[in-house]
Structures are given as C-alpha cells and as structure tokens.
C-alpha cells in the first residue's frame, strides 16, 4: 500500500548530527533571516503585519486552497484573485488589470515544488509598482531552483514543513528583504513551542494507531483523515476555522523531526519516486503529467497529472493500494464556478496528485504500475 504521508516511525531518512532543516536553509540561503511557525498562514500574517495598512489589497493566484487568503483578511487587506494559464503561470493581462495604487503585495505560488512559471516577471512587476513580492513556497521546503532556495525569491516567503515531513505542524517564514526584516515584529506564535503540548501527544498517539492499523486500508484512511485535519475533505473546508486551527507555535515534536531530518536524502528519494511515477504512467493516453522535466535541485511535493477521467483514475489507484491520490485544490467560493477563472476551475477538476514522499519505495510504485496495466 502507498500511503499519503510518511510515517513518524520511518527513521530511515533521518539521523542525528549535521543534518536538519536549519543547516539546509543556512547552506542554501545564508543571508536570509527565518523564523519557525506552526502554520504557513500565520507566518504570512506575521511577515506582512508591519508592512501593510487595512484597506490595501494583495494579488493571489486563483488556483489556491481557500484558507490561504485568511491571514490577509485578518490584516484588513482585500484579496484579489488573478487568473492563471494552464502552465500555472499568471495570466499577466488579468493580473495587471487587478493591480492598482492600493496593491501592497503580489503572491506567487511554487506549485507542487516547482518554481511558478513567470516568477521573474512577477518580481519585476512588484518592483515596478513598489509593492512586496510574497514567495509562497508552502509545497516544497527543499526545492532549490538554479541555486536559489524557493521561498526566498521574494521580499518575504513561507514554506510548510508538514508537507515534507511526518509532522503535525511546522512552517518557516523567510524575511529576505532588509525592510521586511526590520518591520518584522514576531507575535507570540513565532518560534517552536517551549513545552511538549497536546499536538505532540495527539500526533504520536495517532501515529501509533496508524502503525497498528496499517494492515487495514479502511481504518488506515480514517486515521489519516484525523492526521490531515480534514485537509483534503471538501466537507471540512471552513477557511476561517482552518486559519484559527493553525494558531499555535510549532510543536516540539515537529522541531525535533525537522532537526533530525536528512534533507538531501529526502529530496533524492522524492525525485526518484517522481521519476518512477512518470515511467509507470508513460503509456497512458488518458493521463498527462503536469511537468515534463524535473530540473536539478527540485524537491517535488507530489506527482501531479491531468486526468481525462479524474474520479475513475483515483478509484483505479485506490484499488491498487494508493491511499490519498486526490484532486487539488478545493477553490475559494468566489473562484469556484467563476468563469473569470476558467483555467483554475478546470485544473482543480482535472489534476490528480500522486504521493512521492520518502516513505515510499520506488518498487511499490512499480508494483502499482503492474497492477494498473492489468
């Protein structure tokens, strides 16, 4: 069976010594100040708080999970969705039309661990219009694009450790620009927790349950839903509640796992799994990978494909033991069904993401490939 997340008990890719997320960030972004958070959304709020005034607006891509704009709203900002192309680049005509004197920031999103196409143009537009560029790299803490750690491309950026490691929470705020660093006034939610808390205990308890229940896919799924906090369950998407739920410092457990993780080995394993999915699905005419290439340095979050029959493909995968292949994302209400965002709507229906995490052996993906063929 291929699980949606790695297990907290999977120690094979972690060890003590000179490893950990800190040393990876120090190595790849030595001049960037960074701070840990429990959630990327709270990191976004704190990063922007000293830079913005209520009534200003932020431009964000329409192809986005609904809760990501909540921190902007808490700061009194208007979120304006810009349309995207099927390459996931911004539709620049649309973006520029929405830009005005009150635009304080433009957000780019490095989808699935890859730099958003058009990143440089977004940065220069932000410069030209004297607003901040926010580099949302929630998906891939370890992606390095041509020598630059993703998340540190803009004036400020974030990344989410929960999408990389078997942890209940964890995110990083990058303050790349001097002005951003000076204006940064961390809230009490910044930094790792100083005590073991409920999140640590709950997570370890449910991970034990997961291991014990590992043989039973249906039970397993229910434990996963608990772990994911309903992340992919459309019925549980209340953006405000999701933002509120993230308002806790990074747990001790997450920090310990982040300190012990072996980033290079994790990235290599994810890349290998990405390439294996590509090979395994190569012959299928009804499934098209979103990315043709896997450039050096990229740490894929998942293997996203566009499927002609997304629901059918997902159930085929489930029958072959792949837990958690899902469509992405659930769109914000104002975007969903809105014809101004036709491409974002189409992609949110067609894209199916397959897990590539470091807890999966490439041979398990090959075995799924054999079963899919039959």
Could you list the residues that contact ligand PLP (CB under 6 A)? 39-41, 64-65, 68, 109, 136, 138, 160, 162, 171, 246
Q: Token match 């896919």: residue?
A: 217
Element (H, E) at 156: strand 156-160
Least distance (Å) between residue 99 CB and ligand PLP: 21
Pick 171 or 347: Cβ nearer ligand PLP: 171
CB of 81 closer than 8 Å to CB of 107? no
Helices assigned H by DSSP within the chain: 21-28, 40-49, 70-74, 92-98, 119-128, 178-183, 198-212, 217-228, 239-245, 252-260, 263-280, 310-319, 342-350, 362-373
| Residue whose CB is nearest to ligand PLP in the complex, by number | 40
Pick 159 or 276: Cβ nearer ligand PLP: 159
Least distance (Å) between residue 29 CB and ligand PLP: 19
Cα(148)–Cα(158) distance, rounded to whole angstroms?
Answer: 14
Pick 62 or 138: Cβ nearer ligand PLP: 138
The two structure tokens encoding residue 355: 């897990």
Pick 65 or 79: Cβ nearer ligand PLP: 65
The number of beta carbons lying within 10 Å of the beta carbon of residue 43 is: 30
The two structure tokens encoding residue 12: 């094979």
Cα(29)–Cα(135) distance, rounded to whole angstroms?
Answer: 14
Pick 320 or 343: Cβ nearer ligand PLP: 343
Cα(47)–Cα(184) distance, rounded to whole angstroms?
Answer: 6
Cα(43)–Cα(78) distance, rounded to whole angstroms?
Answer: 18
Pick 3 or 136: Cβ nearer ligand PLP: 136
């Amino acid at each position: 069976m291929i699980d949606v997340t790695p297990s907290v008990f999977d120690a094979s890719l972690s060890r003590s010594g000179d490893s950990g997320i800190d040393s990876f960030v120090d190595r790849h972004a030595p001049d960037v100040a960074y701070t840990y958070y429990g959630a990327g959304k709270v990191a976004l709020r704190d990063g922007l708080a000293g830079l913005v005034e209520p009534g200003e607006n932020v431009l964000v891509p329409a192809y986005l999970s609904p809760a990501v704009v909540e921190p902007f709203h808490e700061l009194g900002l208007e979120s304006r969705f810009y349309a995207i192309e099927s390459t996931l680049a911004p539709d620049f005509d649309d973006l520029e039309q929405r830009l005005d004197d009150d635009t304080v920031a433009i957000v780019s999103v490095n989808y699935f661990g890859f730099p958003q196409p058009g990143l440089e143009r977004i940065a220069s537009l932000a410069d030209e219009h004297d607003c901040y560029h926010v580099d949302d790299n929630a998906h891939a803490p370890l992606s390095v694009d041509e020598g630059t750690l993703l998340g540190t491309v803009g004036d400020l950026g974030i990344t989410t450790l929960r999408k990389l490691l078997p942890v209940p929470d964890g995110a990083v705020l990058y303050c790349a620009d001097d002005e951003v660093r000076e204006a940064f006034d961390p809230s009490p939610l910044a930094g790792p927790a100083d005590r073991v808390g409920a999140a640590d205990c709950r997570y370890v308890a449910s991970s034990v349950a997961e291991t014990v229940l590992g043989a039973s896919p249906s039970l397993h799924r229910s434990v996963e839903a608990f772990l994911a906090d309903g992340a992919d369950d459309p019925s549980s998407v209340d953006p405000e509640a999701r933002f509120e739920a993230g308002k806790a410092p990074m747990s001790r457990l997450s920090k310990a796992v982040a300190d012990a993780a072996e980033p290079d080995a994790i990235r290599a394993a994810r890349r290998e799994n990405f390439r294996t999915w590509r090979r395994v699905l190569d012959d299928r005419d009804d499934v098209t990978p979103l990315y043709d290439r896997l450039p050096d340095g990229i740490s894929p979050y998942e293997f996203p494909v566009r499927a002609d029959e997304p629901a059918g493909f997902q159930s085929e995968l489930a029958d072959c033991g792949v837990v958690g292949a899902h469509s992405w994302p659930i769109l914000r209400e104002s975007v969903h069904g809105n014809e101004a965002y036709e491409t974002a709507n189409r992609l949110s229906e067609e894209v199916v993401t397959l897990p590539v995490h470091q807890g999966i052996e490439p041979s398990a993906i090959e075995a799924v490939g054999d079963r899919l063929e039959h």
